[in-house]
Amino acid sequence: MYTGAQKVHKDKDAEPTEFEENVAQALFDLENTNTEIKSDLKDLYINSALQIDISGGRKAVVIHVPYRLRKAFRKIHPRLVRELEKKFSGKVNILI
Protein backbone atom coordinates (compact mmCIF):
# COMPACT_ATOMS: atom_id res chain seq x y z
CA MET A 1 0.00 0.00 0.00
CA TYR A 2 1.16 3.50 -0.79
CA THR A 3 1.89 5.58 2.30
CA GLY A 4 3.47 8.84 3.29
CA ALA A 5 6.79 7.08 3.96
CA GLN A 6 7.36 6.95 0.21
CA LYS A 7 7.47 10.76 0.15
CA VAL A 8 10.88 10.73 1.94
CA HIS A 9 13.93 9.51 0.03
CA LYS A 10 17.05 9.23 2.18
CA ASP A 11 20.48 7.76 1.53
CA LYS A 12 20.43 3.98 1.69
CA ASP A 13 21.95 3.88 5.20
CA ALA A 14 19.77 6.61 6.72
CA GLU A 15 16.33 6.16 8.21
CA PRO A 16 13.82 9.04 8.20
CA THR A 17 13.26 10.75 11.53
CA GLU A 18 9.83 10.90 13.11
CA PHE A 19 9.48 14.54 12.08
CA GLU A 20 10.39 13.73 8.47
CA GLU A 21 7.75 11.02 8.49
CA ASN A 22 5.21 13.57 9.78
CA VAL A 23 6.07 15.98 6.96
CA ALA A 24 5.92 13.16 4.41
CA GLN A 25 2.52 12.09 5.74
CA ALA A 26 1.30 15.69 5.45
CA LEU A 27 2.42 15.75 1.80
CA PHE A 28 0.72 12.41 1.20
CA ASP A 29 -2.50 13.67 2.82
CA LEU A 30 -2.41 16.81 0.68
CA GLU A 31 -1.94 14.69 -2.42
CA ASN A 32 -5.01 12.64 -1.53
CA THR A 33 -7.31 15.44 -0.35
CA ASN A 34 -6.38 18.59 -2.26
CA THR A 35 -7.48 18.23 -5.88
CA GLU A 36 -5.88 21.59 -6.75
CA ILE A 37 -2.31 20.30 -6.31
CA LYS A 38 -2.86 16.54 -6.42
CA SER A 39 -1.35 16.00 -9.87
CA ASP A 40 1.62 18.24 -9.07
CA LEU A 41 2.44 16.39 -5.82
CA LYS A 42 2.15 12.93 -7.34
CA ASP A 43 5.83 12.50 -8.28
CA LEU A 44 7.39 14.82 -5.70
CA TYR A 45 9.27 13.79 -2.58
CA ILE A 46 11.61 15.32 -0.01
CA ASN A 47 15.16 14.50 1.09
CA SER A 48 14.88 15.71 4.67
CA ALA A 49 12.95 17.94 7.02
CA LEU A 50 13.85 19.52 10.31
CA GLN A 51 12.33 21.82 12.84
CA ILE A 52 14.43 24.73 14.10
CA ASP A 53 13.88 27.44 16.69
CA ILE A 54 13.74 31.02 15.46
CA SER A 55 13.43 34.32 17.29
CA GLY A 56 10.47 35.01 19.50
CA GLY A 57 10.12 31.40 20.61
CA ARG A 58 8.69 30.41 17.23
CA LYS A 59 9.62 27.37 15.19
CA ALA A 60 10.34 26.90 11.50
CA VAL A 61 10.02 23.80 9.37
CA VAL A 62 12.87 23.49 6.86
CA ILE A 63 12.20 21.03 4.05
CA HIS A 64 15.00 19.95 1.71
CA VAL A 65 13.92 18.93 -1.78
CA PRO A 66 16.02 17.30 -4.53
CA TYR A 67 17.55 19.77 -6.96
CA ARG A 68 16.07 18.00 -9.97
CA LEU A 69 12.56 18.48 -8.53
CA ARG A 70 13.15 22.15 -7.71
CA LYS A 71 11.15 23.49 -10.67
CA ALA A 72 8.17 21.30 -9.85
CA PHE A 73 8.22 22.44 -6.21
CA ARG A 74 8.55 26.10 -7.23
CA LYS A 75 5.48 25.73 -9.43
CA ILE A 76 3.28 24.87 -6.42
CA HIS A 77 5.34 26.61 -3.71
CA PRO A 78 2.80 29.25 -2.57
CA ARG A 79 -0.08 26.77 -2.37
CA LEU A 80 2.08 24.08 -0.75
CA VAL A 81 3.43 26.44 1.93
CA ARG A 82 -0.10 27.67 2.69
CA GLU A 83 -1.36 24.10 3.13
CA LEU A 84 1.64 23.01 5.20
CA GLU A 85 1.23 26.01 7.50
CA LYS A 86 -2.31 24.82 8.18
CA LYS A 87 -0.99 21.35 9.07
CA PHE A 88 1.91 22.65 11.18
CA SER A 89 0.11 25.59 12.79
CA GLY A 90 2.24 28.29 14.32
CA LYS A 91 5.34 27.29 12.35
CA VAL A 92 7.00 29.00 9.42
CA ASN A 93 7.57 26.64 6.46
CA ILE A 94 10.62 26.94 4.23
CA LEU A 95 11.34 24.78 1.18
CA ILE A 96 15.02 24.51 0.21
pLDDT at 13: 83
Which residues, including other chains, have CB under 8 Å from residue 92's CB and lie 6 or more apart?
54, 58, 59, 60, 61, 85
pLDDT at 2: 60
Structural element, H or E, at residue 52: strand 48-54
pLDDT reading at 1 higher than 90: no
pLDDT at 71: 93
pLDDT averaged over every residue in the chain: 86
All structural domains of the chain with their residue ranges? 4-94
Q: What is the pLDDT of residues 59-93, one digit of tens each?
A: 888 999 999 999 999 999 999 988 888 888 878 77
